[in-house]
Every structure is written in structure tokens, then in C-alpha cells.
Structure 1
């Protein structure tokens, strides 16, 4: 048995963006960046810095900023520590914000000094309690359950805040060690949840005997005395390899929903990872699926699985009804099946989460027209696209006859609810004569680019 996590491709590439932003054009873009699916159930199409994201932990700050923390890069690239990403438009456009630390803490290397050292830090979890952010993360000797989950704390998520500092709080839980009834487990993939009586717990585990629930306490964020011996067994497939991991428990409407990942991760197009769910009235279970099968014993209703270019979705977290996960992107033409961020605002039917996995490549329903305008005037380009999930439209301009393209200055205009987008260039100058303009509509199924339009300045 071997845990998931490190993917060889992660160490080979730096952060990739959906659009490279170069020097600004002379014209300004009207309107702030905007998402297309705020509040509506369904897939959220994402653009910007969305790869390589693995095991995303999603949270939303008080100021509305969306944050994702994810597994570090292999071979200690960029230090190998937990990566950070932010969005200011409800999860549509993402920017890479660097890593929590410049290097893996020295005490972790000391812990693993009798053999191979961890290549990177895995599977973060972010949880706020009483004004403190608790960032849990894992380190492991790959292919074994010689693992640990550790903790860092901060009072803010904003790297520009003068009080911003991730303080190392050391180890939280380690394996190999016996857990409930002498079973073995793997101390990775922490997920924090609070019971209805206010007691905090950590769900944890991968392969071996599966997933367990361990009581912790505040403000330490660490297990209470006797927590391992008194752990509750939540998920065990009773199958060779016991491929279950990445627990996340989410409370809604008096039910606790246990999300987990089943099957094989980290094999690109061949990944069979999928997200399953069960529910319970009690945080300690038992968790049953839609058919009434206990998740200790193989139960688990499939919520999200491979579909077309979306291969091996899993490693999930949930925040405010939004399911965050990674998948291997078959629509990525530059690096096929590179791990990328997926987001889906879940619908709920009969007390169960539902996702619509319908995929349709974007199609352009309205091409941008050529525009002629007097110097000092305003040039307006419009386009519209359809697709499922609803695509995001991003614009590009070229002033060298289409040899190179760049994002227009001022940011991207919003993609509207009807799938349209309007690029406005104000106060155009004679040097913009001949500027070429195009737009790309993108979703998880792929991307489609419009015909080029030309600006003529009289």
C-alpha cells in the first residue's frame, strides 16, 4: 500500500497561467474582473494561475478573498512547502501567492533522518478558530506510513498585513503508531470539524485501516490525551490496498457529510480517483451512503468521477457549499493532464450534495467585429460564448500583427451571466491603429478563441 500525493510532473514545471500578462496596452479596460457563477450551483470555470494545484484546501476570508492552499512542489522546488493561491472574484481568476515558508522546517528532516527525506509537504487543511488560522499539513516517506501531520498558525491570511507570519507549532500526530483497537493508520490528510457540542475533531487517514476521527482541543489544535486510543473508525473499504483517503467533514442542515477520495490518484490520464460521500446525524458517525451502506465496510456514494478531459478528481475540501478538488486536465494542450484546480458549487437534493458533471466545449455565438473610431474616442468590442460549465472569457491584444499577444491593461472585464463580455478601450490614440483584438472562452471542457478583430483609428 502506498499513499498518494507527490506527482512527478509537479517538480518539473513552475507555475503556469492561463494567460500570460505582458506589458500593458495603451487603452484601459472598463469594469473590474468578474466571475460568472457567484452563488449559482454548478461548475466554476477558473482562469489564471490554476496549475499545478494538488489537494486544495479552500477558505474564504472575511474580506471576500478566496484562498487555496495546496501540496508543495516535488524535489523541494520553491522549497517544497505548502503553496498559496488567491482569488478576488468569487473563485474565477486565481493568482499564485508563493509558499508558506522558503524551506521545509528542519525538525521535519530530523524526524526522517534515518532514511529518505520528504520531497515536499502534502495535503494542507486551513481552519479558523477564535481569530487564529490553523494550517495543518503532512510530511511522509513516500510509499510508507512513516508520516506526520504538523501545524502552523497565523492571525491573518493576507501576506501584506504587517502581522502576517506562519508560526511553526511542530508535530500534531505521527505514524506508524497504533490507533483505535490497535489498528495501523497513516497520519496524513487532516480535516478539521466541530461537533454540535463544540468539540473539535480531526479526521485523518490514508490507505492502511482507512480514516479515523480524533478529538483535538483549542487553542493548541492538537489531540487531547488518549485521543488515538479513543479514535472513531469512520471509513474502511475492507478491500486490497484500501484506497481511501482525503477525509473532509462538512456540516449542513443538521447532517454531517463525510467526503473522501477513493481509488488511484496521481496517474494522469489513468487516474481513477473519485469523490464519494456519506452522511450522519452525529459527527462521530456512523456515516451511511444513499443506499444505507456504512462507510466502514465499503459504502460511499460517488459524487464526482472522471469525465472526458477531467481525469481523477479528488483530494477535496468544502467551504460554504463549494467543493474544491484537483484533477488531471486533459484539455491542457501545453502539458496534458497537468494537475489543476477544480471548483464546483454543489446543489442539494433530498439532503444530499449533487454536482452536474455535464461538459461542453465553449462555442462562440457572437464574434467581435472590427471597430473604427476617431482618435480620442472609445472602442468597444463584444463577444459571447456558450458551454458547460459556463465559460469565462478573457481578452488579448496584439500591436505587432498577431505575432505576440498580451492581456489588455486594467484587468479583464467581467463575463456576464448570459456568457457575453465587452472590452472597452477609452481615449484611443493614433498609435493603436491596426491593434488586433481576440477573446478566448474557457471552461473545464476546453477553450475556444474568437476570430481576430481590428481597431482602426481615424
Structure 2
């Protein structure tokens, strides 16, 4: 369907997620096709909850990334509860970024762990990557990595003036000391309800996907996925009408439709040369239970993404 991305799309015309079986419950998924074959998905819930699949359709509960929370997590919440992981492969190993925080505060931290296999139970934690405090104008949660211009970048952010980005040291995987914190997207009004960034390169553009409005309220969630693009990784990002994401712009990519409520917490992964959008939705036919959504991500002739 060749709808322009800024054209309002009837709920009935959004594609349904790819049918999956097994353990479907997930929140804030990050998915990767493992070098050893099969797929791994990590998520908010548990000590970074893990799902494994041989074919991307049948998913099995695989426990947690860690057997127990690293002790430093308790500086940021009293349950050692991590959020919104991001998995990538670089320099011969898998890198798992995640956030630790408490609801309603930007006293937050992003951490990183590495593994040779990417499988649950094999991760070694390396501590803090980047932090925020209540005096900062950003919130250090929802990390996502991208390599661009010969450098490693981490986008992040939730509310607190929106989406930010900082350069990482490629060897350590941690923020370059003193590196500027770039501002990529926000909303014009409090509480600046945009979070969960993910940046991908397609053609000559970098595309910033983010979750807008409210998550985590079951069938009352209003989460939706929007996008903008830029020829420079640092921005400015604009939507298809040229409105900057720093001024509340953003093309609607996917929103709630039918039983699939509050689509968001998204990430993008490549599989056999194709781009896939992974996200969670709240199932209106199952008491608002959060479940894994997978849709192929295609690119229109005008360069803008569309979900199939």
C-alpha cells in the first residue's frame, strides 16, 4: 500500500503482526538473528527477559539474560529491575545495553554487558555507560546503538525533553567523557511524551523511529510509532512535510488498530537482507497482555518507511 506516511491511515488498513506461537508475552523487545542460527529477543521484565526462536515464528521462554541483578542496579531502583534492552553485534561479540531507573524520575543509568554467543546466561556486565540525574534535562533510559561516520553512537531518552544521542568509545562501549549530548526529538508540550528511539540507515538517510504518547496502561495505552529522517546522524531530523522532530514533527508509522493496542517500544533488526520492525502491543482480546509484534519494514519510492 503506497500511502504517504503522513496520511492518516484507517485502523482497518494497518497490517496485523506476523503470526507467532509459543511465548508471546514481551515488552520493549530487541531482536537479533544470531550468528549461530536462530533468533534471540530480550525485553523489559525479569532480569532482562529472554526468548529464543529457531524460525522467528515459534518463540520459547529462555529465562533471563542474568541469573541475578548486578549490585549497582540497586542504586536506581530497589528491585534491581532493568528496562528496554538493545542487542547488537560488533567486534566479534554481542553487546547488550539496558536501562535501570524508577518510574517518574530521571535518576537513571544505562549499562552494558557482552557475550560471545548472545545467549541468556552468558552475559558479563561492564557497569554504567551513561547516567542522568534530576538536574539534567534528559533521561538516560531506552538505549539504541548505531555505527555512523566511523563512530559509535547511542540514542536514548524518555520524556524530559525527549530524544538525545551521545558518542560511545568503540573499545569500551561507554560514553566518551565530555562528549556533547545531541538533541534529536521532542514535543512542544509537557510532559514531552516521546521515548524509545531507534535509528537505522537506509539509502543516504538516517531514520529515527520513536514511541509517542503513553505506554504501560494495557488497553488504555496510546503508544504509537513515528519517524523522521536526516542526512546527518546528529540531525536535524524532519518528517515528510519538513517539520522538525525537535518541533513535534514525525510521520506516523504504526498505531493501535483492532485488537493490537498501543504499538510501541520498537526496534529494527535485519534478517536475510530484509528489515523487520519489532514492538509490543497490548492485546485487547487477552486483557491487555503485552505481546510481541513483528512486521516487515519496507521502504517506499519516496524513501519513507511503511509497515507490511
Report the TM-score when normalising by structure 1. 0.61
Q: Which residue of 1 aligns with 2:280?
A: 326
Q: Give 1:247's match in structure 2, choosing from 184, 191, 197.
A: 197
- Output one character per residue of 1:244-284: Cα deviation in whole Å (capped at 9) or x when no partner: 00000011112111000000101111110000000111111
Q: Which residue of 2 aligns with 1:348?
A: 299
How many residue pairs align between the two structures? 289
Q: Give 1:46's match in structure 2, choosing from 3, 16, 20.
A: 20
CA contact (8 A) 2:198 2:208 kept: yes
Tell whether 2:147 aligns with 1:194. yes
- Residue 296 of structure 1 aligns to a residue whose secondary structure is helix
- Residue 208 of structure 1 aligns to a residue whose secondary structure is coil
- Output one character per residue of 1:340-377: Cα deviation in whole Å (capped at 9) or x when no partner: 00000012112111124xxxxxxxxxxxxxxxxxxxxx
Tell whether 2:52 aligns with 1:63. no
Work out the CA distance in 2 between the residues paired with 1:218 and 1:347: 30
CA contact (8 A) 1:42 1:346 kept: no
Work out the CA distance in 1 between the residues paired with 2:83 and 2:176: 24
Q: Which residue of 2 aligns with 1:88?
A: 54
- Output one character per residue of 1:24-45: Cα deviation in whole Å (capped at 9) or x when no partner: xxxxxxxxxxxxxxxxx98421
Work out the CA distance in 2 between the residues paired with 1:141 and 1:158: 27
Tell whether 2:211 aligns with 1:275. no
Where in structure 1 are there 5+ consecutive unaligned residues? Answer: 1-40, 73-79, 357-458
Give the Å deviation of 1:158: 3.8
Give the Å deviation of 1:236: 1.1
CA contact (8 A) 1:256 1:283 kept: yes
CA contact (8 A) 2:205 2:230 kept: yes
Tell whether 2:241 aligns with 1:287. no
Give the Å deviation of 1:214: 0.2
Tell whether 2:99 aligns with 1:99. no
Q: Aligned runs of 1:250-269 on 2, under 5 Å?
A: 250-269=200-219
Give the Å deviation of 1:175: 1.2
- Output one character per residue of 1:160-181: Cα deviation in whole Å (capped at 9) or x when no partner: xxxx721110111111166xxx
Q: Which residue of 2 aligns with 1:12?
A: none
Q: Give 2:138's match in structure 1, choosing from 175, 185, 205.
A: 185
CA contact (8 A) 1:325 1:341 kept: yes
Q: Which residue of 1 aligns with 2:124?
A: 167
Work out the CA distance in 2 between the residues paired with 1:184 and 1:158: 35
- Output one character per residue of 1:97-128: Cα deviation in whole Å (capped at 9) or x when no partner: 1101122111222x24xxx5146210001111
Tell whether 2:67 aligns with 1:138. no
Q: Which residue of 2 aligns with 1:176?
A: 133
Work out the CA distance in 2 between the residues paired with 1:277 and 1:157: 29
Work out the CA distance in 2 between the residues paired with 1:43 and 1:141: 30
CA contact (8 A) 1:42 1:347 kept: no
Q: Which residue of 2 aligns with 1:124?
A: 85
Work out the CA distance in 2 between the residues paired with 1:107 and 1:280: 36
Where in structure 2 are there 5+ consecutive unaligned residues? Answer: 1-14
Work out the CA distance in 1 between the residues paired with 2:43 and 2:47: 9
